[in-house]
Each structure stands twice: as structure tokens, then as C-alpha cells.
A = this chain, B = another copy of it.
Amino acid sequence: MSLERWVRPCIYGMSGYVPGEQPAAGQRVVKLNTNENPHAVPPVVLEALAVALNEGLRLYPPPDAAPVREAAARAFGVDARGVVAGNGSDDLLTMIMRACVDPGETVAAPDPTYTLYPTLTRMQGGNYQAVPWLEDGGLPVAALAETGAKVIFVTRPNAPTGHAVPLAQVAALCRTAPGVVVLDEAYGEFADDHGLPLLAEHPNLIVTRSFSKSRSLAGLRIGLGFMSPALAEQLHKVRDSYNLDRLAQVAAVAVLEHLPAFQFAIETVKAERIRTTLSLTARGFRVAPSQANFVLAQIPAGPLSGAEWVALLKERGILVRHFPADPRLADKLRITIGTAAEMSALLAAVDWIQGQAG
């Protein structure tokens, strides 16, 4: 066995990305750790899928997901040639990296943010530069541009902090960055505004969206990228042909043709986000205002560490996300906004833990 001879050194030496824990089938938990939507997908999407099952799956799907791209163009008032569909928005992030980053080149992002970016950078043989957010949470525009990065990722709203930088700062970054700026709007539908209007003025901007959060379709893997048609043409070259399967394409079109059907669930999440923020604050947590479908909550001063909070919540059947490797995040929990009942269960568990600890 000569594994280290067969595999690239940059892969052999790295660890893979570790997604949030998935409970085993049948395990009963309140799952607040991977930012899924607690509300079911509207019946109109399931009906479209049921019809598609009967139309046969033996033929390849449209290779460039043209029906999805055209539906997205109609829904968002953009040019279908500037839309690329991905097998989840992670697939789009991979395409961007493979299209733009040569070994030794730089990729940058404000920090902390989505931990997949450095992993994708290492796969591409690039150098990742993490640039701290400004003191006020603002985008470090000059410092990011000065890295000379081929790709700069800006998650908005950001994970795990939940805050959304002003769009004017994103526009300023597009003007000064020497490479491509990726505005990752995986949580964009839960925010007060979004970046699609910036596309017209900034040919180096790519906006990505996910159907895993606001569209309740994490199980189907659908993402969209919006950009100039010229940039889209380059991304298509590194896209797996047939990257989006027939059923995902059918579901994506049904979603895009029925966007208002998702609005009630989105508003419910936003309302529950406010209640959760206030309720955790009342229990001694420090919760940053969030524009996403999760909150980042700093644990109360006391005997329990972040890891102990996570373990105790898990004992009570509640999964939350924790990033112990980052000292700025070790005393914080990232808590997905679930249903009202799920958030009440969380608060009851917090009360129980605080009762025991006190």
C-alpha cells in the first residue's frame, strides 16, 4: 500500500469537512444543529414530484438544468444565461473554486464564517486568508482586497454570527477586489434585503442561493448561482454534466413557480427568532441580532463550558452546533430556529440545566 504516493500531498495531509451531526434514523431529537427549516415543503412541490415519478427516470436530465434556470430567471427577473444550478449551493462553491483558483493562489473571507471555504481552498491547492470582521461587524473591505485573492467569499447573513453586512460594503468590495466576489446568500431569504440588485453593476460578483433553508429542501440538494452570462459560461465548463437530477429539477421549478407559498414559513421563523433571542437573553445568554434562521448565543457566565452546555442539551434530546476549535466561538452555541414547540423545548431544557447547575 503506497497511499501517500497515489494521493496528492495537499489532500493526504488534510482532514475532510465535518458537517453537523445527523441523528440515526428513528432517533427522536430536537434537531437545531444544521439550520434546516422546521416547516414542511408545500404540497405543490410534492405533487410535482409525484407526477415526475410516473414520467420515468430512465432518461438523463437536462444537462444544464435549463428548466430550472429559466424558472429562476422568471422568478428573479434576471437573464437565464447568467444562472447556474448546483447540486446544493456547495456544488456551486466547488465550481467557482475549480474555475478560478490555481494552486498557490489566494482565497479570502472575513472571519469567522462558513468553515467549508478553507477546506475547498486546500483541495484546490490554494492559500486561505481569514481576515477578521471589523470591530462593528462590518466587512473589512480594504484588507480583503489587499489579499489579492482570486475569490473572496462573503456569507450574508453570515454563519455562524447571523449578522448581515450592509450591501454598500459588498458593492465597495466588488469595486476594489482584484478577483471574483462570492456573496453566499444561503440564508438570504431570512434577511431584510439581498444582493441580487448588485449584479447589474458588478461583473465580478456571484450571488449564490440554497434551497436547503428557506425552501425546506435540504434533502434534495438544490442551489442557484447568479452572475454575468460570461462568467456562467466558464462555470458550466467545470460543472459535472447532469449535476442536477430529474427530481431535483422538477422540485426546483415547482418552488420557483410558487415562491409566495414559502413566505408564511419564513415569517414564522423570523418571529420565532425574535422570541428565542429575547428568551435566551432573559436567561443570561448574550445573543447577537440575527438575520438568518439561527442565532449565535454566548453562554451565561457560570460553571458550565460551551462543550458542557452542548452535552447537557444533547442529554435532553436537543442538538445544537458548537465550534470548539475556534477560541472566539468556544463559549457560543449556534442554535437553529425550529418550530415554536421546538424552541420551547430548548428553553425548558435551558431552564432545567440552569436549575441543576444553580
Contacts and interface: CB of A to CB of B under 8 A. Distances in A.
B231 A247 contact: no
A56 B40 contact: yes
A150 B6 CA distance: 6
Contact of A11 (B36, B54, B238): B238
Contacts of A2: 204
B11 A237 contact: yes
A341 interface: no
A15 interface: yes
Nearest to A54: B46
Contact of A246 (B56, B219, B234, B238): B219
Contacts of A203: 1
A246 to B, nearest CB: 4
Contacts of A199: none
A134 to B, nearest CB: 26
A8 B217 contact: no
A9 B59 CA distance: 35
A180 B6 contact: yes
Interface string A84-106: 00011011001000111111000
B59 A36 contact: yes
Interface in A64-96: 67, 87-88, 90-91, 94
A352 interface: no
Interface size class of A (residues with CB under 8 A): 35 or more
Contacts of A218: 57-61, 242
B100 A228 contact: no
Interface in A191-249: 203-204, 212, 216-221, 228, 230-231, 234, 236-243, 245-248
A301 interface: no
A34 interface: yes
Interface stretch (A16-24, A272-280, A281-289): A16-24
Q: Nearest 6 A-B pairs (CB), nearest first?
A: A219-B246, A57-B219, A16-B237, A58-B216, A221-B245, A60-B218
Interface of A: 1-3, 5-12, 14-17, 19, 22, 25, 31, 34, 36-41, 46, 49-50, 53-54, 56-63, 67, 87-88, 90-91, 94, 98-103, 116, 123, 125, 150, 178-180, 203-204, 212, 216-221, 228, 230-231, 234, 236-243, 245-248, 251
28 contacts: A1-B203, A3-B230, A6-B100, A6-B150, A7-B99, A14-B237, A17-B241, A19-B242, A22-B63, A36-B60, A46-B54, A49-B53, A49-B247, A57-B218, A57-B251, A59-B218, A60-B218, A61-B219, A87-B243, A88-B242, A91-B240, A98-B123, A102-B125, A220-B247, A221-B245, A245-B245, A245-B247, A247-B247
